[in-house]
Amino acid sequence: MSFLRQTSRLGCLWASCLTPAARIDLNLRVNRVTHQLSRGPFHTSISRPTYSQPGNRNAPSARPRQAREEHDGENNWNQSPPPRFYRYFNAPNIVVGGLVGACVGMYAYTVFVTYELKTTASSGAIAAQRWLNDHFIHSLKNAKEGRYYTIVTSAFMHQSLLHLAMNMIGLWSFGRILVSGIGAPSFLVLYFGSVIAGGLAQDFIWEEQGMWNAGGLGASGGVLGVFAATACIIPRGQMGFLFIPMPMWAGAALMVGLSVGGMQDRWLPGLGHAAHLGGMAFGAFWWLVAIRRGRLHRVR
């Protein structure tokens, strides 16, 4: 996922041929909102503002009604006035930015602990390192000792700055698109569900191979789940893989092929390829059972 980047053509989500109830507006800077909000599973809604009546003298002057935009063909829809608070609440940046900020903060703390271990090797630094290993590393050992939550907390830990940057670029690029389209609650279920599914898939591989001391960390499973769901919604949207433009469906197929080959030790050893596949599988599953059944239809 880290090799993937968003291009400007992903904006085809709102410019494409959606049904009137499904049209969404991803350009939050111009304060445009949907004509009809989806009421699919876990979808949030925004209340419409009420304006003062012209006959009330004590009330402020009535706001003129916006001119309705009429489009010919299949995309006839009317534009509603934006909510007053919409410009102050940017859900995509807040939700995705919160996840990115948590990962960056945890990485900064691990760098500090590592520096303390190398310089002073104090008892506090040793205790902090032990605490991180027990509560933020996904492993069969931690699971058997009752720390099942590490399958989620490990998604906030990263091994290196490159590892962190690659995952956060992918999460920021594709995550904001999905929050705008399906709502924050559905996106959070998608992200953390992909993290858990990827962790369970990695546990299965570790048990089959007898790797009881192996451990994993990183948000790759959740990020790839977000990417897989985006690829299901806009399979022909353009993306870049190592600066090579290709459709979203081709990028998803390429990631699956790389993960399958990596599980057979053909390339990229040491990566959680099973976690990548598990995250992508949950992303496609959530699109099938929740996103597709809502008002946000697949874009061809």
Q: Please tell us whether the domain made up of 89-293 is placed in CATH 2.30.29.30.
A: no
The string of pLDDT tens digits covering residues 36-92 is: 333 344 444 444 444 444 555 554 444 444 444 444 444 444 445 544 444 446 788
On whether the CB atoms of residues 240 and 222 are closer than 8 A, the answer is no
pLDDT tens-digit map of 151-180? 999 999 999 999 999 999 999 999 998 998
pLDDT at 26 over 80: no
- pLDDT-derived band of residue 114, with 50, 70 and 90 as boundaries? very high
> In this structure, which amino acid lies at residue 253?
A
- Beta-carbon contacts of residue 183 (< 8 Å; ≥ 6 apart): 38, 42, 43, 44, 91
Nearest to 191 by CA among 272, 98, 295: 98
Element (H, E) at 238: strand 238-241
The whole-model pTM stands at 0.69
Token output for 33 = 């909102």
For residue 1, the model assigns a pLDDT of 40
Angstrom distance (rounded) from CA 197 to CA 19: 32
- How confident is the model at residue 294, as a pLDDT? 63
Cα 25 to chain center, whole Å? 18
Res. 284: pLDDT tops 90: yes
Reported as a pLDDT band with limits 50, 70 and 90, residue 28 is very low
Q: What confidence tens digit (pLDDT) does each residue in 231-245 have? A: 999 998 888 777 788
Dist. CA 248–CA 10, nearest whole Å:
9
Angle separating helix axes 220-233 and 273-286, nearest 10 degrees: 40
What contacts 24+ positions apart, CB below 8 Å, involve 137-140?
Answer: 137/215, 137/216, 137/217, 138/199, 138/202, 138/215, 138/216, 138/217, 139/213, 139/214, 139/215, 139/216, 140/203, 140/206, 140/207, 140/211, 140/212, 140/214
| Rounded-to-integer distance, Cα 138 and Cα 140, Å | 7
